[in-house]
Structure 1
Amino acid sequence: MKKLLTVTMALIAFLVINAYSVSIKHPGGDKFVRPLKNNSISNQLLTVSYNSALKGFEVTAQSAKKAFLKNVIPNGVIETVEQKTVVSAAFGRGTALLVTTTDGNLFSFALYSRQPFLFVSQTIKNGGSTNIDIPKLNPVSFSVDLGKPADQLKTMGTGGLLAPDKNPGSYVFLTTVDPGSRHGVVAGWITNEKGSGVLFSNIENSLVNIKAQIDYGHFLLPAGKNEAVETLAIGYFDDARLGEEQFADAIAKQQNIKMKARSAVYCTWYSEKNGGAGSEASNIELARFIEEKNLKSFGLGVIQIDDEWQAGGKYNGPRRGFDRVDPKGGYPNGMAASTSAVKAAGLENGIWWMPFARNYQDPEYKDRQHWFAKHTNGKPFETNWGATSLDLTQPEVQTHIAELAKTMKNWGYNYFKMDGLYTGTVTNLVYINDGYKNDSIGNSKPLFNPLKTQIEAYRDGLRILRKAVGEDVFFSGCSASQNMRSFGASMGLVNSMRIGPDFNHDGQTIRTGAIRASRLYFLNGKVWWNDPDPSMLREKGLSTADPGAGGIGSLTRARLLPSFVAITSQFFLSSDWLPDLPEERLEIMKRCMASHHGIARPVDLFDKFLPSIWRATDKKTGTERNVIGLFNWETTAHKIRTTLDWAGLSNEKTYYAFDFWANKPMTTISNAISEELPAESCIMIAVRARTNHPVVVSTSQHVTQGMIDLVKEEWKNGVLSGTSKIIGGDDYELRIAGINDGAAWKLDKAKIIGDAKNVTIEVLPQTEKGWLRVVIKAKENRMINWQVVFRK
Structure 2
Amino acid sequence: MKALTILLLLSAASAAHASATLQNEFMSASRKGEIITLTTLAGTQRLTIDLPGLIQNAQASSFKDARWGAGNRLTVRHGDSTTTLTLYDGNPFAHFETRVGSGGEDARDINKLIIAKMELDLGIDPHKLVTLGTGGRYEANSPTDGYAYSVLADPETRNGVVCGWLTQYRGVGLMLPTFNNGKHGLETQLDFGLMRVQPGQTRETDILVVGFFDDARLGLENYAENIAKAYDIKLPPKPNVYCTWYHRQQTGSGASTEKMIAENAAFAKEHLKPFGLDVLQIDDNWQALENDPGKKNKGPNKTFISTTPHFPSGMAKTADTIEQAGFTPGIWFMPFAGDTNNPTFDPAIFATDKTTGKPFEEKRWSGATIDASSPQGEAFLRERFKRIHDWDFRYIKVDGLHVGAPSPNIYVNRTYKGKVFADAEIHDNNMTFIEAYRKGLGILREEFPDTFILGCAATQNYLSLAPVFGKVDAMRVGPDNGGAVKGNWKQTIDGADFAGNFWFLNNRVWYNDPDPIYVRESVPLCNARWMASWLAVSGAMHTTSVQYGLLAPERLDIIKRTLPAHNLNTLPVDILENKHPQIWKVANDRLCLLGLFNWNEKEEAEISYPLERIGLDSSKSYDAFDFWENKYLGTVKGSLSTTLAGAHCQVLALRETADHPQLLSTSRHITQGLTDVVSETWNAKAKTLSGTSQVVAGDPYELRITCPDGCKAKKIEVSDNAATTSNIEQSGNLVRVIITPSNTRRLDWKIVF
The residue that corresponds to 1:720 in the other structure is 689
Output aligned runs, 1:255-274, within 5 Å. 255-271=231-247, 272-274=249-251
User: Which residue of the partner structure matches residue 50 of structure 1?
Assistant: 31
The Cα shift of 1:763 comes to: 4.0
SS in 2 for 1:779: coil
Matched with 1:594 is 564
Alignment gaps of 5+ in structure 2: 1-10
Alignment of 1:681-760 (within 5 A): 681-717=648-684, 718-740=687-709, 744-752=710-718, 755-760=719-724
Q: 1:168 aligns with which of 140, 144, 148?
A: 144
Aligned partners of 1:186 and 1:236 also within 8 Å: yes
* CA distance in 1 between partners of 2:267 and 2:416 (Å): 44
How far apart, in 2, do the equivalents of 1:756 and 1:195 lie?
Answer: 58
Query: Does the alignment pair 1:73 with 2:50?
Result: yes
Residue 344 of structure 2: SS of its match in structure 1?
Answer: helix
Match of 2:436 in 1: 457
Change (3 A) 1:20 1:382: farther
Indicate yes or no: 2:530 matched with 1:567.
no
Distance 2:543 2:381 in 1: 27
CA contact (8 A) 1:425 1:486 kept: no
Match for residue 465 of structure 2?
487
CA–CA distance in 2 between the matches of 1:556 and 1:17? 62
Q: TM-score when scaled to structure 1?
A: 0.89
| Alpha carbons 2:143, 2:179 under 8 Å: kept | no
Residue aligned with 2:434, SS: helix
Question: 1:548 corresponds to which residue?
Answer: none
Q: CA deviation at 1:69?
A: 3.4
Letter in 2 for 1:48: A
Partner of 2:5: none
Q: Report SS of the residue matched to 1:316.
A: coil
Residue 536, structure 1, aligned to residue 536, structure 2: no
Matched AA of 2:236: K
Structure 1 residues 627 and 158: CA distance shift in structure 2, 3 A: same
- CA displacement at 1:605 relative to structure 2: 0.4
Q: Larger Rg: 1 or 2?
A: 1
Structure 1 residues 507, 580: closer, same or farther in 2, change over 3 A?
closer
Hey, what's the Cα distance between the residues in 2 that align with 1:89 and 1:159?
35
Is residue 398 of structure 2 the alignment partner of residue 418 of structure 1?
A: yes
Q: CA deviation at 1:142?
A: 1.9
Distance 1:599 1:268 in 2: 29
**How far apart are residue 21 of structure 1 and its match?**
7.9
8 Å CA contact 2:348, 2:377 repeated in 1 = no
What letter is aligned with 2:65? S
Whole-angstrom distance in 2 between the partners of 1:437 and 1:656: 48
Q: How does 1:208-357 map to 2 (within 5 A)?
A: 208-271=184-247, 272-274=249-251, 275-293=253-271, 295-312=272-289, 313=292, 314-326=296-308, 329-357=309-337
Cα deviation for residue 518 of structure 1 reads: 1.3
Residue 545 of structure 1 corresponds to which residue in structure 2? none
**Post-superposition offset of 1:266:** 0.7
CA displacement 1:283-316 (0-9 Å, x = unmatched)? 10000000121x1121211111111111225421
Output one character per residue of 1:661-692: Cα deviation in whole Å (capped at 9) or x when no partner: 11110131111111111111111000000011
Aligned residue type for 2:300: P
**1:284 aligns to what SS in structure 2?**
helix
- Pairs aligned (count): 727
Match of residue 448 from structure 1: 427
The amino acid of 2:748's aligned partner reads N
Contact residue 730 and residue 778 of structure 1 kept, 8 A: yes
Q: Take 1:137 and 1:22, find their aligned partners in 2: how far apart are those partners?
A: 30
The answer for the alignment partner of 1:789 in structure 2 is 752
8 Å CA contact 1:280, 1:331 repeated in 2: yes
Contact 2:420 2:461 in 1 (8 A): no
Alpha-carbon distance in structure 2 between the residues aligned to 1:350 and 1:633? 33
Q: Tell me how far apart the structure 1 counterparts of residues 14 and 549 of structure 2 sit (CA, whole Å).
A: 76
1:583 to 553, 561, 579: 553
Matches within 5 A, 1:356-371: 356-365=336-345, 368-371=346-349
| Cα distance, 1:96–1:63 mapped onto 2, change above 3 Å | same
> What is the CA–CA distance in structure 1 between the aligned matches of 2:32 and 2:280, rounded to whole Å?
60
> How far does residue 97 in structure 1 lie from its aligned partner after superposition?
1.1
The corresponding residue for 2:733 is 770
1:184 matched to 2:160: yes
Contact 2:606 2:644 in 1 (8 A): yes
Q: Deviations over 1:500-519 (max 9, x none)?
A: 11116798221111111111
Cα distance in 1 between the residues matched to 2:638 and 2:123: 29
The answer to whether the 8 Å contact 1:21/1:50 transfers is no
Q: Which secondary structure does the structure 2 equivalent of 1:292 belong to?
A: helix
Q: Is the 1:475–1:496 Cα contact (8 Å) retained in structure 2? A: yes
Q: After superposition, give the CA deviation of every residue in 1:19-64 in whole Å (9 maximum; x if it has no partner).
A: 45844xxxxxxxxxxxx4xx33121112223342xx2433232242
> 1:549-603: per-residue Cα shift (whole Å, max 9, x none)?
xxx22x2221101110111100111012211011111111111121223231011
Rate the CA distance shift 1:507–1:746 in 2: closer, same or farther, 3 A.
closer
Structure 1 residue 784 displacement after superposition: 1.6
Deviations 1:52-83, CA, capped at 9 Å, x for gaps: 2xx2433232242x3x2332222221111111
SS at match of 1:168: coil
Q: Is the 8 A contact 2:596 2:651 kept in 1?
A: yes
Q: What is the match of residue 524 of structure 1? A: 506
Cα gap change, 1:569 to 1:720, in 2 (>3 Å): same
Deviation at 1:204, TM superposition (A): 4.1
Tell whether the 8 Å contact from 2:453 to 2:474 is kept in structure 1 after alignment.
yes
Can you give the 5+ residue segments of structure 1 that lack an aligned partner in the other structure?
Answer: 1-15, 24-35, 541-551
- What SS does the corresponding residue of 1:557 show, helix, strand or coil? helix
| Aligned-partner Cα distance in 2 for 1:222–1:188 | 28
Partners of 1:698 and 1:705 within 8 A in 2 = yes
Given the superposition, is the C-alpha separation of residues 581 and 334 from structure 1 closer, same or farther in structure 2, using an over 3 Å criterion? Answer: same
Instruction: Please tell me whether residue 671 in structure 1 is matched to residue 641 in structure 2.
Output: no
The whole-number CA distance in structure 2 between the counterparts of 1:187 and 1:353 is: 35
Q: Does 1:430 align with 2:399?
A: no
User: In the alignment, what sits opposite 1:508?
Assistant: 490
Q: Is the 8 A contact 1:167 1:435 kept in 2?
A: no
Matched residue SS, 1:325 = coil
Task: Give the share of equivalent positions with the same residue, in percent.
Answer: 34
**Is 2:624–2:652's contact at 8 Å kept on the other side of the alignment?**
yes
Equivalents in 2 of 1:336, 1:21: separation in Å?
Answer: 76
1:134 aligns with 2:110: yes
- 1:247-270 CA distance string (max 9 Å, x none): 000100000000111221111001
- 2:597 aligns with 631
* Residue aligning to 2:172: 196
Does structure 1 residue 659 correspond to structure 2 residue 637? no
Task: Give the conservation status (yes or no) of the 8 Å contact 1:373–1:426.
Answer: yes
Aligned Cα root-mean-square deviation (Å): 1.7
Is structure 2 residue 21 aligned with structure 1 residue 40? yes
CA 1:535–1:375 in 2, change beyond 3 Å: closer, same or farther? same
CA distance in 1, matches of 2:111, 2:720: 70
Instruction: Report if the CA contact (8 A) 1:739-1:772 is conserved.
Output: no
- Residue of structure 1 in register with 2:68 after alignment: 91
Q: Structure 1 residue aligned with 2:352, among 374, 399, 411?
A: 374
Distance 1:240 1:579 in 2: 46
Alpha carbons 1:732, 1:777 under 8 Å: kept: yes
SS at match of 1:58: strand
Any idea what SS the aligned residue of 1:669 has? strand
When residues 139 and 758 of structure 1 are mapped into structure 2, their CA distance, relative to the original with a 3 A threshold, is same
Tell me if the contact between 1:263 and 1:301 (Cα under 8 Å) persists in the aligned partners: yes
In structure 2, C-alpha distance between the alignment counterparts of 1:20 and 1:215, rounded to whole Å:
41
The 2-side partners of 1:571 and 1:162 are apart by 27
* Counterpart Cα distance in 2 of 1:288 and 1:600: 34
